[in-house]
């Protein structure tokens, strides 16, 4: 039978793409309201990010106890974390625990990729096709495809000719990769690259790190939890449930200080104290002014640089690894454990590839523009993702009049509150641009809010006899304008990074994540719903 020939025909009320944090909860919610719903997932099991990212050292940067679902006290309290920032295997186990507890797997088709989705204006329904040849007719198409799930893995000419092995961090083999005693190169020093580098350094023979954009890394404090620690955070369940959705970033903490109200000495004291906390608090719970005021940004950036200089010591390492040309917090801030000291080891070489970029991969290793060859057995691509848009533009999605989402977003990345896109009725989205997402957000907080909004929206439609919802052109224009205005005031908009789409050649520039705050975003989406879905047309 030819590939793509339909082997089944299924009719659903809702089809969800993706079985990560968002997709699992969305399935549970929609099943609870009695919909005939099914999830399609490329991976062989649940977990999303925590299924795919099994590279050495993968772990949370969010405190584990705030990354849980908050809709069920029982679900929350029947799981206990071993550490403040646990590693991927434990997080994946937690996702299995959730799938088991809610009996979700029976409604998930694993190892199945959605390849296309086409909207039919007459019926107001979607026809969805998968790589297994299945054709599904569904009223609602709900994308829970992830903000950071479309890996950038074919970046360098000659990759296919490399004589050794190449791994993208998010496609790390389940059975593990043989790196012990090998000459290993890591390309990329973002949050993921840092976790890999500090973890594999003891195992490999030689480690070559190709550094393009240095990062302001903060030290992580990651204590193991005793039974008392676990009991203490569980006792905070109600407090966390009432706090997290309303803070600026969906973390338990919020910006606490006003720059102008403190003397220089007091500011220094505050920065030192928060730095010692060993979490993302220096970024997300110190001074909000760092995002808006260049002078404050300079001062806090210099504070972090000073800390890094003291550890790196060597001027050449400082030049390569300490950022000078963008402000602290305008990139995703990584947490590290002994990362900077890695570069003092005799088997580690840091290679600057900003002025002298990688020109190609050759059978022996990595070749730079000036002709220098680094001979390697294994190349690890910590090169990140086509964030926010990539997962959806890799599906052939056709809306009203056959318009293509890939084409639309190649011109201009627009959504209505990150929940819908004008021209794509009955397609509801999570973790897409113009909503709070992996940038500046504890994702479980944001994803719970988005999936709950979608659940309520569908309930409302069914109760009131509507079958189709579409974001209006004017509503979308208003949201995009508000988003852009908020983003323009934020220094994030001035830095090149995946936050602004500049890690992908040709991607239209826009701050991808909503920067008005998680609590504010939540209020605005709820206000729109309460006003009879203002900005959306129901029919």
Ligand X SMILES: Cc1cc2nc3c(=O)[nH]c(=O)nc-3n(C[C@H](O)[C@H](O)[C@H](O)COP(=O)(O)OP(=O)(O)OC[C@H]3O[C@@H](n4cnc5c(N)ncnc54)[C@H](O)[C@@H]3O)c2cc1C
Binding site for ligand X (CB under 6 A): 17-23, 40-43, 48-49, 51, 53, 58, 60-62, 113-114, 144-149, 192, 391, 395, 430-431, 438, 442-443, 447
Least distance (Å) between residue 536 CB and ligand X: 22
Calculated CA dihedral for residues 85, 88, 89, 93, nearest 10 degrees:
80
Task: Give the separation between CA 394 and CA 405, rounded to whole angstroms.
Answer: 10
Task: Give the pairing type, strands 365-368 and 358-362.
Answer: antiparallel
Q: Is the dihedral of CA 257, 262, 266, 272 positive or negative?
A: positive
Residue 225's Cα: distance from chain center in Å? Answer: 26
DSSP string, 310-326: HHH-SHHHHHHHS--SS
How far apart (Å, rounded) are the C-alpha atoms in residues 300 and 329? 9
CB of 430 to ligand X, least distance (A): 6
DSSP for 268-333, please give it.
Answer: HHHHHHHHHT-STHHHHSSBGGGGT-HHHHHHHHHHHHHHHHHHH-SHHHHHHHS--SS-TTSSPP
Q: Under a CB-based contact definition with an 8 Å cutoff, are residues 76 and 69 in contact?
A: yes
Cβ proximity to ligand X: between 117 and 491 the closer is 117
CB atoms within 10 A of CB 497: 21
- Closest distance to ligand X from the beta carbon of 173 (Å): 16
**Which of 44/310 has CB closer to ligand X?**
44
Q: Report the nearest approach of ligand X to the CB of residue 195 (Å).
A: 7
Q: Return the structure tokens found at 18.
A: 């993706």
Shortest gap between Cβ of 258 and ligand X (angstroms)? 26
Q: Smallest distance, Å, CB 326 to ligand X?
A: 21
Four-CA torsion 499, 332, 521, 24, nearest 10 degrees: 100
| Ramachandran region, residue 116 (left: φ > 0; alpha: ψ -120 to 50; beta: rest) | beta
- State how beta strands 114-120 and 125-130 pair: antiparallel
Which of residues 108 and 367 has its CB atom nearest to ligand X in the complex?
Answer: 108
Least separation in angstroms between CB 267 and ligand X: 28
What is the rounded CA–CA span in Å between residue 448 and residue 69? 7
Q: How far is the CB of 248 from ligand X (least distance, A)?
A: 14
Q: Which is nearer to ligand X, 296 or 427 (CB)?
A: 427
Which CB sits closer to ligand X, 86 or 365? Answer: 86
Residue 163 CB, shortest distance to ligand X, in Å, is 28
- Side-chain half-sphere exposure of 166, counting CA atoms within 13 A: 21
Instruction: Decide if 362 contacts 158 (C-beta within 8 A).
Output: yes
């Amino acid at each position: 039978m030819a590939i793509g020939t339909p082997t089944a025909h299924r009719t659903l009320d809702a089809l969800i793409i993706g079985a990560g944090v968002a997709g699992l909860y969305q399935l549970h919610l929609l099943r609870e309201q009695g919909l005939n719903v099914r999830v399609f997932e490329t991976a062989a099991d649940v977990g999303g990010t925590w299924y795919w990212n099994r590279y050495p050292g993968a772990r949370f940067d969010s405190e584990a106890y705030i990354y849980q679902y908050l809709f069920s006290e029982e679900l929350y309290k029947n799981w206990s974390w071993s550490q403040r920032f646990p590693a991927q295997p434990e997080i994946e186990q937690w996702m299995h625990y959730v799938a088991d507890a809610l009996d979700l797997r029976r409604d998930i088709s694993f190892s199945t990729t959605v390849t296309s989705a086409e909207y039919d204006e007459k019926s107001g329904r979607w026809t969805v096709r998968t790589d297994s040849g299945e054709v599904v007719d569904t009223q609602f198409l709900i994308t829970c495809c992830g903000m950071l799930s479309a890996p950038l893995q074919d970046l360098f000419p000659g990759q296919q000719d490399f004589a050794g092995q190449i791994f993208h961090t998010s496609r790390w083999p389940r059975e593990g990769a043989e790196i012990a005693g090998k000459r290993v190169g890591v390309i990329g020093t973002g949050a993921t690259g840092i976790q890999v580098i500090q973890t594999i350094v003891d195992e490999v023979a030689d480690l070559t790190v190709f550094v393009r954009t240095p990062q302001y890394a903060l030290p992580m404090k990651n204590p193991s939890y005793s039974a008392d620690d676990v009991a203490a955070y569980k006792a905070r369940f109600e407090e966390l449930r009432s706090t997290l959705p309303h803070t600026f970033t969906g973390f338990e903490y919020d910006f606490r200080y006003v720059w102008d109200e403190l003397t220089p000495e007091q500011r220094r004291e505050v920065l030192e104290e928060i730095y010692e906390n060993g979490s993302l608090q220096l970024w997300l719970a110190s001074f909000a002014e760092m995002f808006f005021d260049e002078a404050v940004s300079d001062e806090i950036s210099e504070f972090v640089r000073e800390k890094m200089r003291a550890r790196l010591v060597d001027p050449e390492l400082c030049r390569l690894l300490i950022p000078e040309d963008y402000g602290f917090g305008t990139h995703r801030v990584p947490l590290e454990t002994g990362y900077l000291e890695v570069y003092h080891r005799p088997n580690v070489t840091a290679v600057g590839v900003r002025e002298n970029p990688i020109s190609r991969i050759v059978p022996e290793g990595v070749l730079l523009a000036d002709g220098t060859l680094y001979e390697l057995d294994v190349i690890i691509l910590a090169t990140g993702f086509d964030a926010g848009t990539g997962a959806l533009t890799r599906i052939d999605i056709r809306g009203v009049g056959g318009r293509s989402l890939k084409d639309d977003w190649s011109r201009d990345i627009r959504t209505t509150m990150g929940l819908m896109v004008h021209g794509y009725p009955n397609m509801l989205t999570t973790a897409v641009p113009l909503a709070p997402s992996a940038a500046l957000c504890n994702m479980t907080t944001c994803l719970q809010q988005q999936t709950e909004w979608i659940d309520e929206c569908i309930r409302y439609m069914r109760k009131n006899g509507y079958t189709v919802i579409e974001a209006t052109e004017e509503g979308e224009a208003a949201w995009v304008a508000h988003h852009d205005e908020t983003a323009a005031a934020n220094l994030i908009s001035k830095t090149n990074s995946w936050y602004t789409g500049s890690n992908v050649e040709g991607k239209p520039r826009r701050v991808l994540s909503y920067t008005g705050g998680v609590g504010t975003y939540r209020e605005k989406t709820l206000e729109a719903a309460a006003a009879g879905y203002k900005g959306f047309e129901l029919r």
